[in-house]
A and B are shown apart, each in its own frame.
Chain A
């Protein structure tokens, strides 16, 4: 009976449990462990150790059997994931295949997932723009969703806190709609990007082009070296996993840091089914887990639980955590759990040619691009749609190769490319309005291999979104024309929600338990020893990339939770 001791309840009891090991779970784990709590981190996917489990990271292009392409049969079988911009032969092992983990699409929703230790922090585009008061005040000002229970000032110190540890490259631009942070040296804008920046700033007020802030160690500091990370080498092969730890991921940064404290127990292949609620104690006491491989059921216990399963999975988990006290899901007294889900609009793209700066080009690769912060409806409502969009912007010198003919002439052409003109590209990142009708729920009859109800996703664009897309096309066409760009081409990708990979909400924060699930500390109103600090907690979506905000929320919530625990309030 050697297993008897291991299986005893004592040995399955921790000071805290973190569900999920991605970008926010990693932070929760680090903070809890650093504060001395024995912490169990549960991850439904397999283990991925920094460097050791990046099988393609040092491969040359010609070493891939299909030179990067995903074979047709796999694409046909997995249409959703095949639409993701980062899903290629070199990264496919970090993506969830549609066929392996089905879900129900009441309306088309491209759900992009990474089930492994580190989650999607291995795969993200590493953009880390802070949110501003214009974002946190949005719902109250414009009358949608529900007022955020916090403002920028509440989060600013926590942004600084996570930025210093993660390592953020950026420029101090002094813009009130995109607050500055704790920055390592910025990446450079190239000559055409600088030209456009100047044109925008002289021809418009409040339209700025900056170099986007990204989670890359442009100049590692002592704290980064201590994590075992090194300088970003500008390889731009980030999504294979970076062997230098040049960009921030849970795998290279927060998880090893948590592990070093000796307080972390990491358990991969652990699919959390539900959070256990004890009616006598009136709190959550632990979690019910299925081992992904053996399908064995096991319970773990802790007085403090952090939910960081990723936005939609956190909804699934809470909805599935039913008890007599919470028949509709943990904390769901008001029936709003799974509602007001929102996302970002990435449908609009616009490209053009520029025939200036022909004496110059760029050399090397840059892991970020230019960025135009939101300029619509910022200070006052000036259009017939609510909110606005930020935009990526990048310029590249084109190389022209003639592919005509066959034989020696073709070969000569391939071997003798010529400089072409520059091309510029922009894509929108728009704020969608969280609506009660955009929901996720549990399918009443279908379950997955691990016994979890399948998630039903019912999310769509609305008129506000369509107007915003048109405005992006109109404004950028005008801006491009005024800059002297030619051959302007707009494109609506028509992509389904989800492909932006910025799904948020369903467990929103708010001041009032009647209209929100979480309080200003990311704590379930109705079950205060459970904290939710991933994308599901977002009340509205802003236009900026959300990951940095999840990190700040996770660190801030742990700080509060541990203080409360020490005061014996939890």
Chain B
């Protein structure tokens, strides 16, 4: 696997910086090496932003006194700390068909220009709520906006790719999250040796695992 060795090199080159939580995607970042997709570091950063919008971080929120309730999601890590964009890239690069890879890649590239052209505010914004609203609107959009004069690709085509991209990204963000070491040790602990099978147990007081 070329990518695997490349990944290691990238990690070495980037040093600790690339792995810092809540990093600001500074110039030290090195693109994840891919076999099939061609996505430069800026597009990979954009993907990370989309993933972080889909599953935001709440790290530290529970420490703040302003919090009104104590729902279990409150201090949970999100896509950013778990580097889920890397998992998404690996899966899209290796595990989906060429056509879907193309739609993913097109959609990712058209996301910002499309929102610039057709939305009041383009993606990404500073506020999580604004980003969520933009992506939700995109995902739910039934009709594409009317074409502007010099558009090379029709807005309908663009929207189709963007929606495919968002669908794939959401699927792998969710999968990456639920199959992450964090989720499977701290949230729903996975046991390699689970102990005896219990065929009939009352659910009262039992945590779903």
Q: Which residues of A contact B (CB under 8 A)?
A: 58, 60-62, 65-67, 69, 71-73, 187-191, 193-194, 233-235, 237, 358-366, 399, 403, 405-408, 410-412, 414-419
Contacts and interface: CB of A to CB of B under 8 A. Distances in A.
A67 B196 contact: no
Interface string B39-60: 0000000000000011110100
Interface in B174-198: 174-181, 184, 187, 190, 192-198
A416 B71 CA distance: 10
B136 A406 contact: yes
B96 interface: yes
Q: Which of A188, A190, A359, A411 has the most CB of B within 10 A?
A: A411
Nearest to B175: A67
Contacts of A407: 53-56, 128-129, 132, 136
24 contacts: A61-B190, A66-B90, A66-B94, A69-B95, A193-B199, A194-B200, A234-B196, A235-B192, A360-B202, A363-B201, A363-B206, A364-B194, A364-B195, A405-B136, A406-B136, A406-B170, A407-B55, A408-B58, A411-B55, A415-B73, A416-B73, A418-B208, A419-B203, A419-B208
Contacts of A194: 200
A46 to B, nearest CB: 21
Contacts of B128: 407
A410 B199 contact: no
B76 interface: yes
A193 B199 CA distance: 10
A60 B181 contact: yes
Contacts of B58: 408, 411
Contacts of A71: 94-95
A279 B157 CA distance: 75
10 A-B pairs with least C-beta separation:
A188-B199, A71-B94, A407-B132, A366-B197, A364-B197, A363-B198, A190-B199, A191-B200, A62-B181, A412-B73
B135 interface: yes
A187 B196 CA distance: 10
Interface in B13-49: none
A188 B58 CA distance: 42
B143 interface: no
Contact of A411 (B78, B139, B181, B206): B78
A42 B133 CA distance: 65
A189 B4 CA distance: 44
B106 to A, nearest CB: 18
A415 B209 CA distance: 11
A182 B157 CA distance: 66
Contact of B55 (A69, A366, A410): A410
A35 to B, nearest CB: 38
A406 B54 contact: yes
B181 to A, nearest CB: 5
A412 B71 contact: yes
Interface in B116-159: 128-129, 132, 135-136, 139
A123 B58 CA distance: 43
Contact of B95 (A72, A187, A405, A419): A72
Given A73-B94, A403-B174, A359 B203 contact: yes
